[in-house]
Structure 1
Amino acid sequence: MVPSEVRALFSVASRPGVVSLAGGMPDVTALPADALGELLGELAVTRTAVALQYGSAQGDPALRERICEVMAMEGIRARADDVVVTVGSQQALDLTARIFLDPDDVVVTEAPTYVTALNVFAAYQARIVSVPMDSDGVIPNALEETLRRLAEAGRRPKLFYTVPTFHNPVGVTLADARRPAVVDICGRAGVLIVEDNPYGLLAFDHQPRRALRADAPDGVLYLGSFSKTLAPAFRVGWALAPPSVRDKLVLAAEGAILSHSVLAQLVVERCLATQPWPEHLKAMREMYRERRDAMLDALATWMPPGCLWTRPDGGFFVWVTLPPGVDSKEMLARAVAAGVAYVPGSGFFADGTGHGHLRLSYSHPAPELIREGVRRLAGLLTATADM
């Protein structure tokens, strides 16, 4: 087990005077605080015996029905019986690794990929094989070639882990034309796809993308979360799995935590049932789009020659490629001293490469702070290039 580079930055990034463009934290002030307080009070009075008691390891049935309605926005037709509520989607990922992976099993991921997913797979002693991406997401030909080479070596991966929509850390989205190809390639190879999709409803200029799971219910294990669309403090996520996998997830959850917080589940269910959910999502999309625009404008204004960056159309992140010879991990201490924090790119690669990249998040700071943080970073990069 190794520490997450993102988590290790939290204490540094919270220092007074430091603009944090590091952690992908949502802005929870967008939640209707008065309505949330009323819901909590109502549940405390009317549902005390249920809200404060143990619950099912599979999760509250009414919440699972609401989750199916949420996934329908991405084209997924699901039954509540096939949903397993988890403590955030992070626990769903850990439970998936627990039931599938033995030491030296192979997991295929994008390169780069979500840093904590790498930590989870490493904790179960899996061998991680990476597949390159471009501006349209994972490259199908490269994925197919990787699976072919593994098969020739007598190795069939247990999982293909992907963040296809508003990717963490790169911010790009798997192109619509590539999605059927990815599903077909993994299906022919007998590899289960783990689709991690916490950002999918945060599309800025279009309707939510059709999920991979929508077209391959037997070949995709879908992970979702309310941490980005409601609040991470609820710690409510879920897995939508084929029945044979679902039952094992429930058993693994019972062994890990016995049951989830029923109170948190009831609050989320009541939020979805009584609050204007479409209007809430619209407000969040507009807020994050404004912050994305502030970051892209600041990057175009201040970053020195030789820097490149992605242009996400949803989610939380921008991926920056630095001029040749600049090491984002080596530069981090000087960046914090200059009053700005980011995540070095090396944490997102299984082999520790990626020193010429960094991840910026625009989700939490206000637009004026985003601009100031990018200005400080650009000044440091300019000074570094002159050294």
Structure 2
Amino acid sequence: MTNNISIIGGGIGGLVTALSFDKLNISYRLYERAESLKEVGAGIWLSPNALQVLEWINPKMLKEIQNAGNIFNRILVADHKLNPISDSSQSFVQEKFGYTTMAIHRGKLQQILYKYVAQENIELNKNFKAYSQNKDQSLKVNFIDGSFVNTNSIIGADGINSNVRKQLFPNSKLRYSGQTCWRGISDYDIKNKLESVGFTLWGKKLQFGVSKITEGKVYWFAVKLSAPNLTDDKENLKKELTNMFSEFHPLVNNLIKNTTENKIFRGDLSDLELLNKWNSGNICLIGDAAHSMTPDLGQGGAQAIEDAFYLSNFINNLTTIETACQSFFNYRKEKVEKLVKQSRLTSKIAITNRFTEKIRNFILKNTPESYMKKQMIELYTLDKTIANNV
């Protein structure tokens, strides 16, 4: 079945949806507000659930993505001095799925995805303004530049601040986590024993994450409790961050010092209060537009990629887009809502007071390895039967 569908947003979720539609010969156009897709932003983790979707789309594309990033053999949670609290070898993940979690520059990933999309179906410099319904029940999409298109269906893949969602569900609300986050790409050669490890250091109401993304480049993020909507003095930012993390392992400040100021980005951490549906008629939300979560589990991008896989296959196999969108929500709701709640909880326990910190560390250290493995396998499993039988 082919449909005239408009995808709003050319981020990771929108591009993977377009790629999935290309694979299944579903008719669409993708509209992205940026004039060009430049290599901007920081890093992103891609776990095996996301990698399975990318392999399903195009094994060659997956290989190019893996070659452009860095693959982990361990995932580590440590204290501020880099003493392990939880250290998980990923060999069982490799055996089960054929690959493990990897890190890559977000902008680089976006460029690779964009390269593989059918270029005739993408329009850049198209900033969504609003939609309306035509007399024949089709939809009209209006853009900021005054242009418009008529379409049978809209997929809102326009992120946590989705304008499609704001019109579709005007009562939807973002929830500020109470934390702000700095992200950066450091020009630094990380030590051999840590180059294949994705790790997070938990300190006194502070958190610092590290992952090499390619040779000589390390992605890092720094989190602290903060009032929302604050801005930085760029000239003193690196000094403030190094003072903030002065008690952490020396690697932390080495990474900060080797990052240029204009490659450090600050953003408050929020998520979306759970919605009781992601569509109304032929208008459907995916990714952060539908179920934005805090980044604590590293699953935001992966869940947008899963959305693209499942929604495209429901559309391909069911009679109407509305039925496909409703089936997509019913199928995805349980897993996604569980991850949103887990991410919220993790964000609270990662940055906590000294007394709770000791309890947290004790519980994490003593969690059975078998339980951790079971949780990871459940998270990473993709239901590939959906591609053939809905």
How does the TM-score come out when normalised to structure 1? Answer: 0.30
Structure (1/2) with the larger helix percentage: 1
How does the TM-score come out when normalised to structure 2? Answer: 0.30
